[in-house]
């Protein structure tokens, strides 16, 4: 398979952080307040059912629900911004869209933000003309657009805010993310070990893979409601802590795993975390097997997520940007 190349960055809205990723992709994300931990339990209420517009199923959505086109006026603004950067180079992470005349881009990204928060939580922005820019210039344009969704923040412990997702030939081990290997990425949310995981994640495609490259999306709100119907006896376990592999994103010598629930509701916001592989390796790092109820709960969640009725898929094209809530 040909190496694909994506880029990623983390913005925040209000008190949340946002992110972007990519086959080379680039990415970002956002979060809410810390969970309250007491005696190993998370003090949280359980949602009877998520009354959410984001609890969608495959048959109820179509590409028109997630596709947003970059109009000619916005593309002209981006071209002018790139020309200005060629004349007056600036580090990407110092770029601020408020210092440029980008009204058409601002209007588009306002729509994107509304679709992410009030729509199905998925947007494909079509598309950035990366063929006429250098990779660095494409990254700058990507950064400017993402910055209109919120403040971009670090997505690694070392402070990285723009992250290339591609096969580097590395072997999966502690501290190596699957996104830099050639392994399949299963359904997951970013940073599940964090108290404040990303709210939004973005992904710019610089070079799609020659083979593969299919993106699949599902709604954890839908999965929650489906588990309430299929396995109400197991849903409460998913509101309790699980050990998550921190993937080396911590102070040297700190615990290599963190405790967080899959589902969390504080009465104001409903938060979800998902990555069965990181729970499995998190339990190994914790030195104790996951309890039987926890294993069963994670397994039935996986069954729901793998049901084609609850997901959509498509191949991302060069220059397109994915945003997910």
For 24-38, 132-146, 193-207, which range has the lowest pLDDT when averaged over its residues?
A: 24-38
Q: Global pTM? A: 0.81
Tally of domains in the chain: 1
Which H helix or E strand runs over 215? strand 214-218
pLDDT of 13 over the 80 cut: no
**Whole-number pLDDT of residue 170:** 54
Whether the bond into 127 is cis, omega within 30 of 0: yes
Q: Which domain holds residue 129?
A: 5-324
The CATH number that applies at residue 216 is 3.60.130.10
What confidence category does residue 49 fall into, taking pLDDT thresholds of 50, 70 and 90? confident
What is the C-alpha to C-alpha distance for residues 127 and 192, in angstroms, rounded to an integer?
29
The mean pLDDT of the chain is: 81
Work out the number of other CB atoms within 10 angstroms of the CB of residue 83. Answer: 11
Task: Calculate mean pLDDT across residues 40-53.
Answer: 66
CA terminus-to-terminus distance, the chain: 29
**Whole-number pLDDT of residue 44:** 55
Question: What 3-state class would DSSP assign to 92?
Answer: helix
């Amino acid at each position: 398979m040909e190496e694909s190349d994506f880029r990623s960055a983390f913005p925040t809205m209000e008190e949340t952080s946002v992110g972007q990723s990519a086959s080379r992709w680039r990415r970002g994300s956002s979060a809410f307040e810390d969970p309250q931990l007491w005696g190993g339990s998370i003090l949280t209420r359980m949602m009877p059912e998520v009354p959410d517009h984001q609890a969608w199923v495959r048959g109820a959505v179509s590409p028109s629900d997630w596709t947003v086109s970059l109009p000619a006026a916005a593309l002209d603004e981006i071209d002018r911004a790139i020309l200005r950067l060629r004349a007056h180079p600036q580090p990407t992470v110092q770029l601020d869209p408020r210092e440029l005349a980008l009204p058409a881009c601002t209007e588009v990204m306002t729509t994107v933000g509304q679709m992410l928060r009030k729509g199905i939580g998925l947007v494909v922005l079509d598309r950035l003309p990366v063929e006429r820019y250098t990779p660095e210039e494409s990254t700058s344009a990507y950064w400017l657009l993402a910055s209109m969704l919120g403040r971009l923040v670090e997505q690694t412990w070392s402070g990285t805010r723009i992250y290339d997702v591609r096969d580097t030939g590395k072997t999966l081990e502690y501290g190596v993310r699957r996104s830099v290997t050639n392994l399949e990425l299963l359904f997951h949310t970013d940073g599940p070990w964090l108290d404040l995981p990303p709210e939004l994640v973005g992904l710019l495609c610089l070079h799609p893979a020659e083979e593969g490259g299919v993106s699949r999306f599902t709604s954890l709100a839908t999965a929650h409601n489906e588990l309430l119907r299929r396995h109400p006896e197991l849903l409460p376990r998913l509101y309790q802590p699980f050990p998550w592999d921190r993937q080396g994103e911590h102070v040297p010598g700190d615990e290599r795993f963190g405790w967080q629930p899959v589902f969390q509701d504080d009465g104001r916001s409903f938060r979800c975390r998902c990555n069965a592989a990181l729970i499995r390796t998190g339990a190994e790092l914790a030195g104790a097997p996951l309890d039987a109820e926890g294993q069963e709960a994670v397994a039935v969640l996986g069954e729901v997520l793998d049901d084609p009725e609850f997901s959509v898929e498509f191949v991302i094209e060069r220059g397109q940007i994915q945003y997910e809530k």
